[in-house]
């Protein structure tokens, strides 16, 4: 199993979210997963319109409110306070999932425990005794959304690779991930394997390869 190189840090979590936001097309309808993906809502590039969808029934989610201005009735799927942009719509939970399952969401951003080089995603349980499964809407999202991006740290806290030749945890979806955004790099899932799209400042492709348990191709491959 590959491990991260000591001293190689790359992007912070906020910088990772900002880097991903740069790649979201103007006018896209986007679902953000719980946890790290929620940060993406803060970094819509100036002059670009992105409409964020929340599976508990909101289309037009804005960034988190200032401290002390939270509305307990306005939360995202992770039960965190959010805001609503002008023109936002509220609707039934079932209608929200009909949007997902009907292919009406352009892109979703999810966290992950593991991603395979062919785009397989594992993000709901380790499968170990005593683990608490938490699939949420992820299985619907990877099946119904047009493009899936993963936002996560490149390795575990112990330095073990989270990007593998093959996932060892139970899968959320097969061949569902299009791009992976980590603190070290942006990787695209291609029919021939993982290809570097971008590297964090101070990070080399050799750093990425050492922290990845799957082959990684250079950008010009």
Q: Which of 55, 67, 165, 206 is catalytic?
A: 55
Among 204, 151, 145, residue whose Cα is nearest residue 19: 151
The three state secondary structure string of 82-95 is CEEEEEEEECCHHH
* Helix/strand/coil for 146: coil
Q: Alpha helix (H) ranges present in 85-171?
A: 93-101, 138-144
Closest CA to 131 of 170, 189, 88, 167: 170
Extract the tokens encoding 115. Answer: 């991603």
CB 115 within 8 A of CB 163: yes
Give the span between the Cα atoms of 11 and 106, in whole angstroms: 26
Unique residue bearing structure tokens 């690779």: 161
Are 180 and 163 spatial neighbours (Cβ–Cβ below 8 Å)?
yes
Q: Is residue 55 among the annotated active site residues? A: yes
Tokens of 193: 């394997």
Structure tokens belonging to residue 190: 């291609």
Known catalytic residues?
55
């Amino acid at each position: 199993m590959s491990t991260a190189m000591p001293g190689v840090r790359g992007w912070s979590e906020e910088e990772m979210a900002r880097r991903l936001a740069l790649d979201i097309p103007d006018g896209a309808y986007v679902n953000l997963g719980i946890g790290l993906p929620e940060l993406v809502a803060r970094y819509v590039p100036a002059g670009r319109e992105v409409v964020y969808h929340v599976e508990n029934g909101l289309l037009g989610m804005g960034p988190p409110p200032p401290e002390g201005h939270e509305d307990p009735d306005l939360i995202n799927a992770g039960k965190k306070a959010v805001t609503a942009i002008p023109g936002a719509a509220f609707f039934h939970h079932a209608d929200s999932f009909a949007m997902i399952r009907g292919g009406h969401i352009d892109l979703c951003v999810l966290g992950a425990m593991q991603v395979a080089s062919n785009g397989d995603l594992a993000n709901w349980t380790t499968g170990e005794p005593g683990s608490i499964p938490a699939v949420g809407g992820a299985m619907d999202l990877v099946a119904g959304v047009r493009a899936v991006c993963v936002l996560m740290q490149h390795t575990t806290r112990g330095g073990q690779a989270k990007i593998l030749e093959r996932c060892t945890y139970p899968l959320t979806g097969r061949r569902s991930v299009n791009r992976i955004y980590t603190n070290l790099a942006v990787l695209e899932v291609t029919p021939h394997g993982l290809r570097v799209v971008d590297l964090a400042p101070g990070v080399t492709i050799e750093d990425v390869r050492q922290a990845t348990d799957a082959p990684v191709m250079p950008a010009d491959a």
